[in-house]
Structure 1
Amino acid sequence: MLSYNKLIETLPPEIQFTMMKILDQFREELLNTVTKSDFRQLENLVSVLGDNMLELAESQKRTEQRVEELAEAQKELAEAQKRTEQRIGELAEAQKRTEQRVGELAEAQIKTEHRVDEVVEILRDVVKKQERMSKELGGLSTSFGYFLENEAIRFLPDIFRKNKGIDIQVMDRRYIVYADGKDDEINIYGEGTEGGKKVYVIGESKSQFGKKDADRFRKLIQRVSDHVRAKVCPLIVTHSAHPAVEEYAKKIIPGLEIYKSYDLK
């Protein structure tokens, strides 16, 4: 068992002097009031008290150490919180820049939509003008087609009489109605005689004659031939036709005559 002085020396410095004073005072009072046996018992109690105080001091030391650890942890937590707040500030700034950029994009989108509307309006105007031009060109094409037909109806009777010996009695435009009720509009229709036999002239006028026109005209000639049961003289009056198209048309339509607009005089 440690002596009183040794026990006191193990206590924190700030309470050693006070404990020494208390112990000295306690001794004096004991000498005046208790027996030796009682004093020994009291010494034992004081010794136990010293041990308890030592344990308390150790516990306090551990508590102070733990408090220091907690303080350090709190410091680290404060630093982490500071970094977090800084990061939040950076994110808020980035969010602000993003919102600003989104606003700029939205404004650009609005301008783009306005521009697109302007372009659409321009395109609509162009389409309308093109439609008007197409109608005008269609009208010109129709007028030119009628002009070719009129010239053909006017000059072909003399051409057929001089070049083919065919006497044309009728030359105009006409519809042919078939037994099934269907019909074909014939742009150039003629009736005549050749050596006393009935002859039909079936023709079309095209400003430009192509292969598709040749295919369609071949079918028309076939329908008319099956209907009239007589000789049919097919002819095309055109302003222009490629030599390959002329060759193709004459190959699929036997007896086809192709007249250019300048031949009608």
Structure 2
Amino acid sequence: MRYENVHSKLQTVFPPEQAAVLAEVIHEAYTDLVKTSDFNELKEIVRELSVKMGELAEAQKETQKEVGRLDRALQELAEAQKQSETRLTRLEAVVGELAEAQKRTEQRVEELAEAQRGSEARLTRLEAVVGELAEAQKRTEEELRKLIGEHAETRRQLGGLATTVGYRLEDEAFKALPALLERDHGLVVKGRLTRKFVRDNRGEDIEVNIVGQAERNGRTCTIVGESKSQLSKKDVDAFIRKKLRRLEGVFDDVFPVLVTYMISQPDVEEYARQKGIAVYYSFDF
């Protein structure tokens, strides 16, 4: 049995290294058996060896299958590793972006905090200004109260002065009107002209500044008058509304008269005369 033949056959089943070892073992065993001329034993050995070789070949096939499965598993593991590395790379990128976003957020928070500090400072200054304004307002209100009081006193004094002026004008009218009324309107004053309260047609007492009795053509009439420092159309209307109308029915015949220092408009005197009211000036007295 030649070594080359055995080795060649074994290579069809086993890897080269295993085939070489087996071929050498078989060749040595065959050589030893040939030397002892125990051919039958050699056949038995060869047969057993063939069986073992078959089992070994089958085991080798299973081993190769396992190796194949292991290779595939390793490839799958390698692919999974690549995917893991890809995902890890993406995750690292996302983490980097989050870190940058966090930095920007922290910077923005710091800017907002700084702005808040500025706002608080401005608010503090504003509160101080408002406090000062409130104090100034209090002082202004106090001054205003004083001015109101002074104004009220001034008005009271002016009112008193106006009353005094009015009374002074009326006092002069009491003396001068009898002659003027007789000259201009044929009225003869009986007794004296005066100021007094008269009960009106509502049953209320009203002050009449100039009042007295007079006769004209044998008929008695009542003189009703009022004085104004500066006579206006509004004063004429007020005299009619507040005095003449309220005395309608109280006296049978009323002769109205107004006395003044000056009129407020050129046509005031004509306005009064059109309404049946006689007008006299202080310089007539």
TM-score by length of 1: 0.74
Identity %: 35
TM superposition shift of 1:237: 1.4
**Inter-partner Cα distance in structure 2 for 1:67 and 1:165:** 127
Q: Deviations over 1:74-125 (max 9, x none)?
A: 2122122222222222222222223333333333322222222222222222
Q: State the SS of the aligned residue for 1:228.
A: coil
Residue 19 (structure 1) aligns with: none
Q: State the SS of the aligned residue for 1:56.
A: helix
Q: State the SS of the aligned residue for 2:267.
A: helix
Residue 247 (structure 1) aligns with: 270
Ranges in structure 1 where 5+ consecutive residues have no aligned partner: 1-26
Does 2:124 match 1:103? yes
Does 2:133 match 1:112? yes
In the TM superposition, 1:137-176 aligns within 5 A as 137-160=158-181, 164=186, 166-176=188-198
Task: Verify the 8 A CA contact 1:144 1:207 in the aligned structure 2.
Answer: yes
**2:250 aligned residue (227, 243, 247):** 227
**Inter-partner Cα distance in structure 2 for 1:218 and 1:68:** 106
Task: Verify the 8 A CA contact 1:167 1:194 in the aligned structure 2.
Answer: no
Using a 3 Å threshold, how does the CA distance of structure 1 residues 138 and 77 change in structure 2: closer, same or farther?
same
Using a 3 Å threshold, how does the CA distance of structure 1 residues 261 and 73 change in structure 2: closer, same or farther?
same
Task: Verify the 8 A CA contact 1:161 1:168 in the aligned structure 2.
Answer: no
Using a 3 Å threshold, how does the CA distance of structure 1 residues 224 and 67 change in structure 2: closer, same or farther?
closer
Using a 3 Å threshold, how does the CA distance of structure 1 residues 54 and 150 change in structure 2: closer, same or farther?
same
Residue 238 (structure 2) aligns with: 216
TM superposition shift of 1:67: 1.8
Q: Which has the larger radius of gyration?
A: 2
In the TM superposition, 1:1-265 aligns within 5 A as 36-37=56-57, 38-160=59-181, 164=186, 166-178=188-200, 181-219=203-241, 220-221=243-244, 224=247, 226-230=249-253, 232-241=254-263, 242-253=265-276, 256-264=277-285
Ranges in structure 2 where 5+ consecutive residues have no aligned partner: 1-17, 26-51
**Inter-partner Cα distance in structure 1 for 2:87 and 2:214:** 130
Task: Verify the 8 A CA contact 2:187 2:214 in the aligned structure 1.
Answer: no
TM superposition shift of 1:209: 1.3
TM-score by length of 2: 0.69
Task: Verify the 8 A CA contact 1:145 1:207 in the aligned structure 2.
Answer: yes
TM superposition shift of 1:244: 0.7
- Counterpart code for 1:193: E
Q: State the SS of the aligned residue for 2:203.
A: coil
Q: State the SS of the aligned residue for 2:250.
A: helix
**Inter-partner Cα distance in structure 1 for 2:201 and 2:91:** 113
CA RMSD of aligned residues (A): 2.9
Task: Verify the 8 A CA contact 2:214 2:220 in the aligned structure 1.
Answer: yes
TM superposition shift of 1:149: 1.4
Q: State the SS of the aligned residue for 1:243.
A: coil
